[in-house]
């Protein structure tokens, strides 16, 4: 084969490829506008002239968002423009999708039903210390730490446990004066000396022990006023302490908090005092009962969730902060409303849209809806739908795209803006 023959063959291949591309484009254009039968294809100009309906505009099926006021060649693909008729009810109301295409793409339908959202709400939470049970131990007077008992942060201690021995010189002199006045028989001066001991920071219990006998005590033992977890121990042997200095911080564990994050749309119906139940991995097969203590006032901005704080009695101390729990909350009973699967809702940013299936196969139309509460799987519909209608729950983005190409959603948004 010489060079001339090779050149002719290459030119023939290019011509055949161009013809094939043109035929493919033509078939695609006719499929989009609903002409499934190739034999029914007519020239756009002839159709525009023969049709009694008014032509709104011409467009390129591959660039449907670009409108032209007269027929001609598309500037994009050098093909004939297609007319859009004003009397086309299917185009005005929605979109038509080939039934074979809807089957192949897995479009699923669901029926609009009337009912109530589930009262039970499941959430995951984590135990935390009950901050209402925090006790702070402070120095009532200055002194010198003589001894620190074998305690460390996070130790669980009982009420009355010894924390440190502190030498208090001011107390020694005041105690000696008080004991001397008691033996003098002057009750008024003895009572004044007793009040001075209390002003210096001694407790009624310590003064009572002094009354029982014995000499003045220069060293006092600091004890835990309540049992719980020793969160902080601020004393060391040999250090000097000042009045008001924090020596220890103790968090009681008679009850614990459980914080759970509840989605904003599912928080309606929760109230303080409602009973809740929870299960823990540490205690399989056992259910613990508690109550809602508080609904925190601010939403989490990143997750759009409301933090629900629950209180759990913990007399045995087996519930420990940091444990994860599966929580069941009972919401208040709501009224009957229209319910649809949450996945059927398309949020456009300006409105919520649901694709409704028409009585004729393959016809769909987008409908603007007003949504209410949701429980994850189901969402309440306050307006826009009727009971028994068929709606699309999967594959709706394909139909939404086709409706957008035909300008249906644009007209809906303009109508919504006018309202």
Calculate the alpha carbon distances from 276 to 253, 264, 287, 309, 319 in Å: 19, 19, 10, 11, 16
Question: Got the DSSP string for 101-168?
Answer: HHHHTT-EEEE-EEE---SEEEEEEEEEE-GGGEEEEE-SS-EEEEEE-S--TT-EE-TT-EEEEEE-
Q: What architecture (CATH level 2) is domain 95-115+336-418?
A: Beta Barrel (2.40)
Q: What is the pLDDT of residue 204?
A: 84
Same fold, 120-131+253-330 and 138-247: no
Q: Which two tokens stand for residue 49?
A: 């002239």
What does the alpha-carbon distance between residue 378 and residue 115 come to, in Å, rounded to a whole number? 10
Instruction: Give Rg (Cα) of the chain.
Output: 40
> pTM value?
0.53
Domain range list for the chain: 3-87, 95-115+336-418, 120-131+253-330, 138-247
Fold of the domain built from segment(s) 120-131+253-330: Elongation Factor Tu (Ef-tu); domain 3 (2.40.30)
Closest CA to 57 of 40, 28, 65, 402: 65
Calculate the alpha carbon distances from 171 to 192, 209, 224, 247 in Å: 15, 14, 20, 18
Residuewise pLDDT in 10s, the chain (419 residues):
555 455 545 545 454 444 454 544 454 444 444 444 433 333 444 444 444 567 878 877 667 667 888 888 888 777 788 887 765 544 445 556 556 655 655 678 899 999 887 677 888 889 999 999 999 999 888 899 999 998 888 999 999 999 999 998 888 888 988 888 888 878 889 899 989 888 887 888 888 888 887 778 888 888 999 999 999 999 999 999 998 899 999 999 999 999 988 888 777 778 888 888 999 988 888 999 889 999 888 888 888 888 999 998 998 888 999 999 999 887 666 788 899 999 889 887 788 989 888 766 667 788 899 998 887 788 889 998 999 998 888 765 555 555 554 454 454 444 444 44
Contacts of 68 (CB under 8 A, 6+ apart): 57, 58, 59, 81
What does the alpha-carbon distance between residue 223 and residue 209 come to, in Å, rounded to a whole number? 15
CATH of domain 138-247: 2.40.50.100
Percentages helix, strand, coil for the chain (3-state, rounded to 5) are 30, 40, 35
Count CB neighbours of 103 within 10 A.
10
Contacts of 340 (CB under 8 A, 6+ apart): 110, 112, 113, 354, 378, 379, 381, 385, 391, 393
């Amino acid at each position: 084969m010489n060079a001339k023959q090779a050149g002719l063959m290459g030119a023939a291949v290019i011509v055949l490829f161009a013809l094939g591309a043109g035929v493919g484009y033509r078939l695609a254009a006719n499929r989009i506008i609903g002409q499934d039968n190739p034999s029914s294809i007519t020239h756009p100009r002839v159709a525009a002239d023969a049709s009694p309906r008014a032509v709104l505009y011409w467009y390129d099926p591959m660039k449907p968002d670009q409108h032209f006021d007269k027929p001609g060649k598309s500037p994009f693909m050098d093909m004939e423009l297609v007319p859009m008729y004003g009397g086309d009810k299917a185009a005005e109301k929605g979109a038509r999708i080939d039934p074979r295409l809807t089957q192949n793409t897995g479009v699923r339908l669901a029926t609009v039903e009337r009912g109530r959202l589930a009262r039970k709400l499941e959430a995951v939470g984590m135990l935390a210390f009950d901050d209402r049970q925090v006790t702070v131990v402070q120095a009532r007077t200055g002194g010198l730490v003589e001894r620190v008992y074998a305690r460390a942060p996070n130790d669980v201690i009982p009420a009355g446990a010894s924390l440190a021995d502190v030498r208090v010189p001011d107390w020694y002199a005041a105690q000696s004066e008080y004991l001397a006045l008691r033996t003098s028989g002057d009750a008024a001066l003895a009572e004044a000396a007793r009040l001075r001991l209390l002003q210096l920071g001694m407790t009624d219990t310590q003064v009572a022990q002094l009354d029982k006998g014995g000499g003045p005590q220069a060293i006092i033992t600091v004890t835990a006023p309540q049992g719980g977890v020793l969160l902080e121990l601020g004393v060391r042997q040999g250090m000097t302490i000042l009045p008001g200095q924090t020596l220890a911080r103790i968090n009681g564990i008679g009850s614990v908090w459980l914080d759970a994050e509840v989605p904003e749309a599912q928080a309606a119906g929760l109230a303080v005092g409602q009973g809740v139940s929870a299960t823990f991995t540490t205690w399989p097969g056992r259910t613990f009962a508690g109550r809602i203590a508080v609904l925190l006032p601010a939403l989490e901005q990143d997750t759009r969730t409301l933090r629900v704080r629950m209180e759990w009695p913990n007399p045995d101390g087996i519930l420990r902060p940091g444990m994860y729990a599966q929580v069941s909350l009972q919401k208040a009973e709501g009224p009957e409303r229209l319910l649809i699967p949450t996945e059927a809702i398309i949020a456009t940013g300006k409105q919520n849209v649901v694709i409704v299936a028409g009585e004729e196969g393959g016809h769909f139309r987008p409908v603007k809806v007003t949504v209410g509460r949701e429980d994850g799987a189901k969402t309440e519909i306050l307006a826009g739908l009727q009971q028994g209608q068929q709606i699309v729950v999967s594959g709706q983005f394909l139909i939404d795209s086709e409706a957008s190409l035909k300008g249906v959603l644009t007209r809906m948004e303009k109508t919504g803006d006018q309202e």
